[in-house]
């Protein structure tokens, strides 16, 4: 199972370190109660679920990017 640091590593790989951190802090995810990734991780939400919501919100359709986080949870 993926941990929080691995989740943030994927954000940095896909969006770059600074923008990935900014997204985690500020991007409200409508499908997950309009909370940010950082808030959701703190609340114990699955990193895969959060990543899927980020991909949807950011219009990422490339399957290679969408399935970067913990492929076993798909």
Q: Tens digit of pLDDT for each residue in 30-62? A: 999 999 999 999 999 999 899 989 999 998 876
Counts of helices then strands in the chain (DSSP H, E)? 5, 0
Which token pair is 57?
Answer: 């919100």
Q: Is the C-alpha dihedral spanning 18, 20, 21, 27 positive or negative?
A: positive
Domain span at 13: 4-73
Considering its fold, how many domains does the chain have in total? 1
CA distance 28 to 43: 14
| pTM, two decimal places | 0.82
**Per-residue pLDDT reduced to its tens digit, 2-24:** 688 889 999 999 999 999 999 99
Residue pair 68/14 in contact (Cβ under 8 Å)? The answer is: yes
């Amino acid at each position: 199972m993926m941990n929080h640091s691995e989740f943030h590593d994927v954000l940095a790989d896909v969006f770059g370190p600074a923008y990935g951190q900014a997204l985690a802090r500020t991007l409200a995810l409508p499908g997950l109660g309009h909370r940010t990734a950082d808030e959701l991780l703190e609340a114990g939400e699955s990193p895969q679920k959060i990543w899927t919501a980020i991909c949807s919100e950011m219009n990422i359709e490339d399957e290679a990017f969408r399935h970067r986080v913990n492929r076993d949870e798909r």
